[in-house]
Structure 1
Amino acid sequence: MQREYYTVLRNRILESYHRLNISNEEMMLLIHFLTFQQAGEDFPAISLIGRRMNVKDQQLYDMIQSLIERGFLSIPSYKNDQGKSVEYYSLDPLYQKITQLGEVDESERFKEAKATKEGEVFDMIQVEFGRQLSPIEYQKISDWFKKDGYDPDVVKEALKESVLNNVYSLNYMDRILLNWSKRKQTQANDSVGFSKQKAQTQDLPPVPVTKWLNK
């Protein structure tokens, strides 16, 4: 009975190749390269691959050239035991592209999560204030995130402090955030913790409620 061989293929390749604008035929060519490599043949004859794929040699050469130019394939070389230079097909450039794509995806997921948390802050403030925010107020809150670098959870805590003090004002929240920022408390998971931050809020000068409500 003839022995069966298997090709080990990373799932990320199949999941990502269309996003990298690699055609089905180009992907099949790359899979054939993997198959030969895993069988110990790093530089298979084009004619052999052509017979397997039922594709003319010139078409395969064109695909290989295109994959190289687009940064998905390379043909490096090494010295064998006899000192002879041996070329081989390397898919390392493809793996690097897939890794970069994964990093971009992770970055996008982080941005989406952050945007969601920031959106929650806007909603929470409007609910607690009992009214819609003005364009100027929207800009002020956005600046807390973009310019001042405040974590959304920190802004939520500042809102809680304002509500506890019965002061519904972004200016008052800004004073709280500034007070915490001076103590380097810009992240919700800082080691000092919010129990200490809340206690530090007492350092703020007393503010008449009516004065803040009118702002």
Structure 2
Amino acid sequence: MDYKQLMVSWMEEGTVSIPQLLLSNYHKIGLSESEFVLLLQVYSFIEKGNNFPTPEELSSQMSFSSEECSSILRRLVQNQFISIEEGNSSSGILYEKYSLKPLWAKMAEFVLSESKSENMEKTLLEETDLYTVFEQEFSRPLSPLECETLAMWIDQDEHTVVIIKAALREAVISGKLNFRYIDRILFEWKKNGVKTIEQAKKHGERFRPHQKMQSAAQTVKSDKKTVPFYNWLEQ
């Protein structure tokens, strides 16, 4: 056997690169195994320069009959996994060709949908954790009105979970653990464009010297050390 010639023949056959994303998720976008394999055969023919393989040509590469291939092709077109487009040769002759653009579009939609689902799941977990953190700090279950306020901060005021937790921490440090005080902090932060933890810290640091002077004046006769804080309600 001429192994060198055999290797040349293999190389001349070429290769078909299949996106891993498609290989792992074809069933999630609605493709059956038979439809997926036939799609790969269509893709293979296109890569070799045959843009419109016949059912007989496809059947020659598969265990399906040409009738079965025709039936699968019709389903793929009807379900918008492939499309039939018209082309125009250099000599002006019109011809038909298969296009896999609908397949790639479905894969793109699938990726976006998966990403949104993951983000929604992450957001739900963060919000659930937020309620738990508040209940731990308040040492009691939240009232329906307080739960509604938390939801309003997220949905209407569009505060992130991170920022709400930061405002809660500021209230704890300040010794003013109540929703009105936290709401005031969030209002001040939003008014001043505070959206990150770093911005919140910098915003508070601008008021620390003044607050320290007030705190010192209030504790001149006390030996206890106090934690200076910025009184957001007085602004």
State the TM bucket, normalised to the shorter chain. 0.7 to 0.9
- The ranges of structure 1 where at least 4 consecutive aligned residues each deviate by more than 6 angstroms after the TM superposition are none
Q: d(CA) in 2 for partners of 1:66 and 1:8?
A: 24
> What is the aligned-residue RMSD (CA, Å)?
2.0
Q: Which moved more, 1:115-124 or 1:66-75?
A: 115-124
Q: TM-score, normalised by structure 2?
A: 0.80
Shift of 1:177: 0.8
Shift of 1:30: 0.2
Corresponding residue to 1:54 among 59, 63, 69: 63
Corresponding residue to 1:193 among 199, 217, 220: 199
1:177-192 correspondence runs (5 A): 177-185=186-194, 187-188=195-196
Q: d(CA) in 1 for partners of 2:156 and 2:78?
A: 41
Asked whether the 8 Å contact 2:174–2:231 carries over to 1, the reply is no
Q: Indicate the structure with greater helix content.
A: 2
Shift of 1:118: 2.0
Q: Which moved more, 1:90-99 or 1:109-118?
A: 109-118
1:107-186 correspondence runs (5 A): 107-185=116-194
* Secondary structure of 1:101's aligned partner: helix
* Secondary structure of 1:55's aligned partner: coil
Cα deviation digits, residues 110-144 of structure 1 (max 9, x gap):
12222222222212211211222122211211111
Cα deviation digits, residues 22-74 of structure 1 (max 9, x gap):
11000011000111111121112210211322222222222112111111100
Q: d(CA) in 1 for partners of 2:136 and 2:232?
A: 25
Give ranges in structure 1 of 5+ residues lacking alignment: 208-215
Counterpart amino acid of residue 175 in structure 1: R
* Secondary structure of 1:93's aligned partner: helix
Shift of 1:179: 1.6
Q: d(CA) in 2 for partners of 1:98 and 1:205?
A: 52
The residue aligned with 1:96 is: 105
The residue aligned with 2:77 is: 68
Cα deviation digits, residues 157-196 of structure 1 (max 9, x gap):
10011001111211211111112122232x226xx81123
Q: Percent identity?
A: 24
Q: d(CA) in 2 for partners of 1:26 and 1:149?
A: 45
* Aligned positions, number: 204
Are 1:204 and 2:210 matched, yes or no? Answer: no
Larger radius of gyration: 2
Greater RCO (Cα-Cα under 8 Å, separation 6 or more):
1
Are 1:83 and 2:92 matched, yes or no? Answer: yes
Give ranges in structure 2 of 5+ residues lacking alignment: 208-228
Counterpart amino acid of residue 115 in structure 1: L
Shift of 1:202: 3.5
